[in-house]
Structures are given as structure tokens and as C-alpha cells.
């Protein structure tokens, strides 16, 4: 097997494990912590971070996998979450051109924008279509706490993703230069 294929497969396995870990923490650990009135959307943070760091294709693949996990474990039509996560991965991949290692303002802005888009998507298709019109209550009690927690976790997780990405790039570069 070619070395570059091995490296791509290794990175894909690591990314899948990260997504599974984030899903597990988001759905199984955070709801049990009494100090959190809301939980950060780790899958959303992963999807937009992968799109922003690696580009649209990787962001869409991450979004597809995250969406499938959400669709499998939550009620509703299959593909409901896949659609929104794939769009988030794609649109954040467009900002890959503006990717700088230490530039944290754009990822925070993208996190806030994605949270609002994600929750608006859920509100329109889950609540508004059933005649529930109280968007103020939904925004204050659901969107705002989740937005705050997601922004706080983005500050930490985005830096972790950057360091992991740099580490994987160094490993790939080292192995690539040894091939003669």
C-alpha cells in the first residue's frame, strides 16, 4: 500500500475517532453535569473547524458523519441533521483561504454564525411549521446559552485542533521526506 494512502487513512481514522468522542461527550457526559443549563454543540464546532482548517470537502465529510450520528440517535426524518451539518462544513470550507494559525476572531465569528444558523434551521423546521411562534423564548432559553457555551468551548477546542493538525502535518512531512 502506498505511503500517502496510509497517511490519509490514518488521518481519517483519527478524525472519525475525534467525531465519535465529541458525539459521546456531547450526548452522554454533558447532560449529566448539573452546572450546565445547556450543552455546547461539539459536533458543530468540529464540523466548522474541520471545514475552516482543511477545506470544504473535509468539512462536508465531517458534517455528513456528524449528521448521520445525530440522525441515528435523535428522532425525526433521516437526513435532517445531515443536511445542516453538510452545509455548515461546506460554507466554512470557503473561509479556508483566510485560515491563519493564530487568528481566533474569525473562528469565533463563524462559531456564532453557525450556531445561529443551526438553531434557526431547527426552529423553522421543528417548531415554526407546527405553529409554535414564540421565537423570543426559544432564543433566550435555548439559543443564547448554547451559543455562549459553544463560544467558550471553541476557544479551547480550536486551539487543540490546530495543534493536532500541525502535529499530523509534521508527521506526514517527516514520512514524506524519508521516501526516496
Domain range spanning residue 56? 3-178
Q: What is the pLDDT of residue 115?
A: 95
Has residue 65 got a pLDDT over 70? yes
Share of the chain above pLDDT 70, in %: 92
pLDDT in tens, 98-150: 766 667 888 899 999 999 999 999 999 888 777 777 888 888 888 999 999 99
- Where would I find the beta strands (DSSP E) of 24-135? none
Going from the C-alpha of 57 to that of each of 63, 87, 102, 177, the distances in angstroms are 10, 11, 23, 26
> Which residue would you say has higher pLDDT here, 178 or 117?
117
55: left (phi over 0), alpha (psi -120 to 50) or beta: left
Number of neighbours of residue 110 by Cβ within 10 angstroms: 22
Question: What span, in angstroms and rounded, lies between the C-alpha atoms of 53 and 120?
Answer: 25
Number of structural domains (the chain) is 1
Amino acid at each position: 500500500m502506498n505511503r500517502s494512502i496510509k497517511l490519509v487513512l490514518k488521518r481519517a481514522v483519527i478524525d472519525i475517532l475525534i467525531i465519535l468522542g465529541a458525539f459521546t461527550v456531547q450526548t452522554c457526559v454533558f447532560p449529566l453535569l448539573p452546572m450546565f443549563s445547556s450543552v455546547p454543540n461539539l459536533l458543530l464546532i468540529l464540523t466548522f473547524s474541520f471545514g475552516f482548517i482543511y477545506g470544504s470537502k473535509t468539512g462536508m465529510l465531517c458534517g455528513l458523519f456528524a449528521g448521520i450520528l445525530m440522525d441515528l440517535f435523535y428522532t425525526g426524518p433521516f437526513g435532517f441533521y445531515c443536511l445542516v451539518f453538510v452545509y455548515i462544513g461546506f460554507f466554512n470550507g470557503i473561509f479556508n483561504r483566510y485560515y491563519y494559525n493564530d487568528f481566533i476572531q474569525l473562528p469565533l465569528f463563524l462559531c456564532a454564525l453557525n450556531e445561529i444558523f443551526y438553531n434557526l434551521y431547527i426552529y423553522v423546521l421543528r417548531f415554526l411549521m407546527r405553529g409554535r411562534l414564540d421565537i423570543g423564548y426559544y432564543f433566550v432559553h435555548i439559543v443564547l446559552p448554547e451559543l455562549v457555551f459553544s463560544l467558550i468551548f471553541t476557544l479551547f477546542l480550536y486551539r487543540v485542533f490546530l495543534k493536532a493538525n500541525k502535529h499530523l502535518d509534521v508527521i506526514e512531512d517527516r514520512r514524506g521526506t524519508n521516501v526516496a
